[in-house]
Amino acid sequence: MTSLNSKIGIAIIWNLANMLVSRGASVIFTLFLAKFLAPEAFGLMAMIIICYALADALMTSGFGQCIIRQKDITPLDLSTAFFTNLALSFLTYLLVYLMAPWVAGLYEQLELTNLIRVTGLVLFINSLKVVQLALLYRDMDFRSLMRVNSTATVCAGLVAVALAYAGFGVWSLVAQFTVSALVSTGMLWLLSTWRPSLSFSVASFKYMFGFGSKLMLESTLNVLYENSYILVIGKLFSPETTGLYYFAKRIRDLIVDQANGAVQQATYPAMARIQDDNTDLKRMYRLVIQLVFFVVTPGLLAVAVLAQPLFEVAFNDRWRPAVPYLQLLCLAGVLLPIHTVNVNMLKVKGRTDLILYLGLVKKSLHLVLLAASVPYGIVGILIGQIIAVVLSSAPYMYYSTALIDYRLAEQIQDLLKPLIAASVAAFASWSLLDALDMSAAWSALTGGLVFSVLYIGIGHLANIEGYALIKKKLTTVRSSISRRRAPGTQA
Same domain for 192 and 124? yes
Same domain for 74 and 163? yes
Same domain for 281 and 380? yes
Same domain for 153 and 211? yes
- Domain presence at residue 288: yes
Cα 362 from Cα 218, distance rounded (Å) = 11
Instruction: Tell me what the mean pLDDT of segment 470-478 comes to.
Output: 70
User: 257 pLDDT exceeds 80?
Assistant: no
Same domain for 172 and 304? no
Residue 491: pLDDT band (50, 70, 90) is very low
Same domain for 282 and 186? no
The domain boundary, picked from 226, 260, 294, lies at 226
- Domain presence at residue 411: yes
- Domain presence at residue 70: yes
Residue 480: pLDDT band (50, 70, 90) is low
Instruction: Tell me what the mean pLDDT of segment 309-332 comes to.
Output: 88
The domain boundary, picked from 226, 260, 292, lies at 226
Residue 192: pLDDT band (50, 70, 90) is confident
Which of residues 348 and 118 earns the better pLDDT score? 118
Burial status of residue 97 (CB atoms within 10 A of its CB: 0-12, 13-18, 19 or more): middle
If you write DSSP's letter for every residue of 271-331 in order, what string do you get? HHHTTT-HHHHHHHHHHHHHHHHHHHHHHHHHHHHHHHHHHHHHS-GGGTTHHHHHHHHHH
Element (H, E) at 360: helix 352-373
Backbone angles phi, psi at 244, to 5 degrees: -65, -45
Same domain for 213 and 289? no
Instruction: Tell me what the mean pLDDT of segment 184-198 comes to.
Output: 89
Cα 459 from Cα 303, distance rounded (Å) = 19
Structural domain harbouring 454: 274-479
Same domain for 323 and 430? yes
Instruction: Tell me what the mean pLDDT of segment 125-148 comes to.
Output: 82
Same domain for 152 and 278? no
Q: Do you know the residue count of the chain?
A: 491
- Domain presence at residue 18: yes
Instruction: Tell me what the mean pLDDT of segment 131-154 comes to.
Output: 82
- Domain presence at residue 262: no
Mind listing the pLDDT tens digit for each residue in 342-380? 777 777 777 777 877 887 888 888 889 988 998 988 899
Angle between helices 239-273 and 39-60 (to 10 degrees): 30
Mind listing the pLDDT tens digit for each residue in 26-58? 667 777 787 788 788 888 887 888 777 777 777
Amino acid, single-letter form, for residue 3: S
Domain count, the chain: 2
Instruction: Tell me what the mean pLDDT of segment 93-119 comes to.
Output: 88
- Domain presence at residue 212: yes
User: 328 pLDDT exceeds 90?
Assistant: yes
Backbone angles phi, psi at 396, to 5 degrees: -65, -40
Same domain for 66 and 163? yes
The domain boundary, picked from 204, 226, 248, lies at 226
Same domain for 181 and 316? no
- Domain presence at residue 218: yes
Same domain for 182 and 285? no
- Domain presence at residue 265: no
Residue 33: per-residue pLDDT: 82
Average the pLDDT over each of 132-136, 387-391, 443-447 and give the range with the smallest value. Answer: 132-136
Residues 6+ apart with CB under 8 A from 9: 473, 476
